[in-house]
Amino acid sequence: MKNYIVHDEWKIIENQWRPEYNEISESLCSIGNGRMGQRANFEETFTGKTLKGSYVAGVYYPDKTKVGWWKNGYPEYFAKVLNAPSWIGIDVEIDGKIVDLAQCEVSEFERILDMKQGILTRKATAILPSGKIIQIDSTRFCSIVDDECGAIRYAITAVNFSGKLSVTPSVDADISNKDTNWDEKFWNEVSKLVKNAQAYVVAETKKTAFHVATGMKFRLYLNGQEIEDFVAFRRKRDKYAGCTVDVPVTEGSELVIYKYAAVLSSENHAKEDLLKNCQEVLKKFEKKGFDKALAEQSEAWADKWSKSDIVIEGDVAAQQGIRFNIFQLNQTYTGEDERLNIGPKGFTGEKYGGSTYWDTEAYCLPFYLCNADQKVARNLLVYRHKQLGKAIENAQKLGFTEGAALYPMVTMNGEECHNEWEITFEEIHRNGAIAYAIYDYIRYTGDQKYLSEYGLEVLIGIARFWTQRVHWSKYRNKYVMHGVTGPNEYENNVNNNWYTNYIAKWCIEYALESLRWVETHYPPQYAAIVEKTHFDTNKEATNWEDISQAMFLPEDKDLGVFLQQDSFLDKDLMSVDDLRPEDRPLNQKWSWDRILRSCFIKQADVLQGLYFFEDNFDGDTIKRNFDFYEPMTVHESSLSPCVHVILACKIGNYPKAMEMYLRTSRLDLDDYNNDTEDGLHITSMAGTWMSVIKGFGGMRVRDGKVHFTPYLPESWTKMAFKVRFRGASMEIIVTKTTIEVENLGGEAIDVFINGQPRHIGPHEHRVMER
């Protein structure tokens, strides 16, 4: 755990030169706009600890699988999130030597991510080995208004010398992935162009043949005066293009480079037009100018914040934590492009590969349901519908038949690309989350028609998978499911994981219920779906009913708990408090077999099920299971603490809820798991958001109505959040003494506060005693 980021309500501030933490800060201060993003790398050369990273949405590379021992059924490749061409480079040369902060004495340093405006700034004072002193002052952003563009204002001051500054703004496609199986580079050059103060490289990914054009244009100002007629020397090498300009400076002079960039991909433009379009987009953006683009950026972020901010007063660390999470989510996925999804690292690192995990359905969907237009959440569901064919193929590869669908654990285009048998073949609960998301979306929006358009087909494929994956146990007189890995990846190849069996049973029942609903309300669509899926209304439906009714769900009646798997109680049960500090995190300290044999739980498993299906269980059952499993949970997945916050609030264990909240909201800011340097935990950030809304805010949707049962943590004096619900928009404000509901729309709304129905008129601000 670290504690070097200054606590501030709106900014992420690093205020000292700490090169040893540079990769962590690069992750924390990452910027993006849903279309592209980048780590907070320096513009000039830096040979110290750094993970250079730029990413373009949807662009990936299928890296040939490398495993120790090949297992039949493994995918041929792992889809890597690709480190893409960079547009940020500005090299600075003084006396023939490249400026590199790793080779200088850095006397002052500050890197700030301004979350309110979506702007990254950096200031550094560096004493070069020659004794010359320069100041660097940069401002950079990825525009959320023009999402193929970004800009930098880069100022260098010659503090104590006169002489020549040589600057080389560039674009660079000579990029290596940190994560590669065969030490290959993944980009080839297609073309490049350098003219005047402009440079372009069009690069192509190997195998997938995505084309990306990266271009830049710049202007120079010396002491506030534009330098009109400078000579720019062309710099070209393989996959790299730039322009060098020599500028004579006197002591105290400030040279400012305004660098405008555009990144266009063949996902959105015809390959043959890419270079031409890149030049046009860049020309338009440059014409707008830096100040105007910056002002628009700030306005656009103000608009985003007006819809999704959460205010916490009385606790700056908690406030900074939640805003950081909301900011990163908003810059990762905007929902405008239905081909895209939310990768666990977003645009902040390479680790995990792929862009889509069950994280999207299980954790991220509620954030977009509450904060964005309904179509955004719908797009996330349609994304999986589009990949149904591939999910069916994926199941076929594993021996399933007749339209059974197994969605991948990790994917870019619908194909499975994860290759650890215990996850690829066994962590099948992911299928359940995809069905649950359909239910969750409909429950929230009331858009039940979605079933007849897309949802039902997906539910049929998923239910078919479960009905083939279980088998009849004569011994138990029940259907059982062997050889699975539940959400807790610290147990593999177990039998009857309660969570997996429960969600399988639920999926089958929900598919049956949905079939009946579509048959009644949309008969022609029903007939078309039955025909398309070859659904046997008698035989299949009867078999599904039998299985769902006779599914085995392990529990221990004496303890009153559900069992994570058949033999969980054989384990040496102990508490996380019994572990020595030097044993943690277990995944870095213990051998894998030792972890598997232990009782320690990586992430919510039975508790994940109780969170999803809370309404099916009474409060005592939830409490007993929470009290049993919580002490054994090490939360070594970032997805875990949020579920514990929500359940802890539900059972009134507020100290635990607060402990878990701080852990989830500051997971990356304080580097809890010692891995922020690899990138941020983007999908778990949606979980943090849920901790406030569903945990402390107690928000639930039941029977088409929204409920709030708020709790204000001791150290907070106020909590306020906004929610969109079925065309209505409202703000909930909780203080020590009151609960306030502000209806932000022109129609009256009905909400439940602490179980009491309240009718709130148009634009009414109702204040109630707590």
Cβ count near 711 (within 10 Å): 18
Give the C-alpha separation, 583 to 636, whole Å: 13
Handedness of CA 24, 30, 36, 42 (dihedral sign): negative
Question: Minimum distance from CB of 499 to ligand BGC (Å)?
Answer: 12
Q: Closest CB to ligand BGC among 318 and 639?
A: 639
Helices 654-665 and 316-332, axial angle in degrees (round to 10): 50
Q: Is 612 in the site for ligand BGC (CB under 6 A)?
A: no
Subset of residues 711 to 750 that bind ligand BGC, contact rule: CB under 6 A: none
- By rule CB under 6 A, what string of x and - marks binding of each residue 471-510 to ligand BGC? ----------------x-x---------------------
Q: What is the 3-state secondary structure (H, E, C) of 344-365?
A: CCCCCCCCCCCCECCHHHHHHH
Q: Is 444 in the site for ligand BGC (CB under 6 A)?
A: no
Q: Is 408 in the site for ligand BGC (CB under 6 A)?
A: no
| Stretch in the footprint of ligand BGC (CB under 6 A) among 217-225, 334-342, 357-365, 537-545 | 357-365
Among 30, 548, 676, 683, interactor with ligand BGC by CB under 6 A: 683
Give the C-alpha separation, 420 to 427, whole Å: 10
| Stretch in the footprint of ligand BGC (CB under 6 A) among 79-87, 190-198, 220-228, 355-363 | 355-363
Subset of residues 189 to 228 that bind ligand BGC, contact rule: CB under 6 A: none
Q: Closest CB to ligand BGC among 294 and 342?
A: 342
Q: Closest CB to ligand BGC among 357 and 502?
A: 357
Give the C-alpha separation, 331 to 33, whole Å: 5
Give the C-alpha separation, 630 to 563, whole Å: 13
Give the C-alpha separation, 482 to 562, whole Å: 17
| Stretch in the footprint of ligand BGC (CB under 6 A) among 194-202, 217-225, 354-362, 708-716 | 354-362
How far, rounded to the nearest angstrom, does the alpha carbon of residue 430 sit from its chain's CA centroid? 17
Q: Is 434 in the site for ligand BGC (CB under 6 A)?
A: no
User: Which residues, other chains included, contact 679 with Cβ-Cβ below 8 Å and sequence gap of 6+?
Assistant: 27, 30, 39, 53, 345, 346, 348, 349, 350, 351
Tokens 């440059």 correspond to 286
Identity of the amino acid at 692: V
Q: Is 78 in the site for ligand BGC (CB under 6 A)?
A: no
Q: Is 639 in the site for ligand BGC (CB under 6 A)?
A: yes
Give the C-alpha separation, 167 to 173, whole Å: 19
Active-site pick, 14, 415, 489, 636: 489
| Stretch in the footprint of ligand BGC (CB under 6 A) among 95-103, 350-358, 651-659, 715-723 | 350-358
Q: Is 57 in the site for ligand BGC (CB under 6 A)?
A: no
Question: Minimum distance from CB of 315 to ligand BGC (Å)?
Answer: 27
What are the angstrom distances between the C-alpha of 661 and each of 359, 370, 639, 666? 18, 20, 12, 8
| Stretch in the footprint of ligand BGC (CB under 6 A) among 64-72, 351-359, 432-440, 576-584 | 351-359
Residue 652, token pair as written in the block: 């009134």
Among 242, 335, 344, 486, interactor with ligand BGC by CB under 6 A: 344
Q: Which residue is nearest to ligand BGC (CB)?
A: 344
Subset of residues 581 to 610 that bind ligand BGC, contact rule: CB under 6 A: 602-603
Give the C-alpha separation, 609 to 481, whole Å: 16
Q: Which residues on adjacent β-strands are paired with residue 191?
A: 202
DSSP secondary structure string, 552-579? ---EETTTTEE-SSTTGGGS----GGGS
Tokens 């009714």 correspond to 549
Question: Minimum distance from CB of 301 to ligand BGC (Å)?
Answer: 26
Q: Is 633 in the site for ligand BGC (CB under 6 A)?
A: no
Q: Closest CB to ligand BGC among 297 and 419?
A: 419
489 is catalytic: yes
Residue 459, token pair as written in the block: 């539910």
Q: Closest CB to ligand BGC among 464 and 602?
A: 602
Contacts to ligand BGC by CB under 6 A: 344, 352, 357-359, 487, 489, 602-603, 637, 639, 683
Catalytic residues: 489
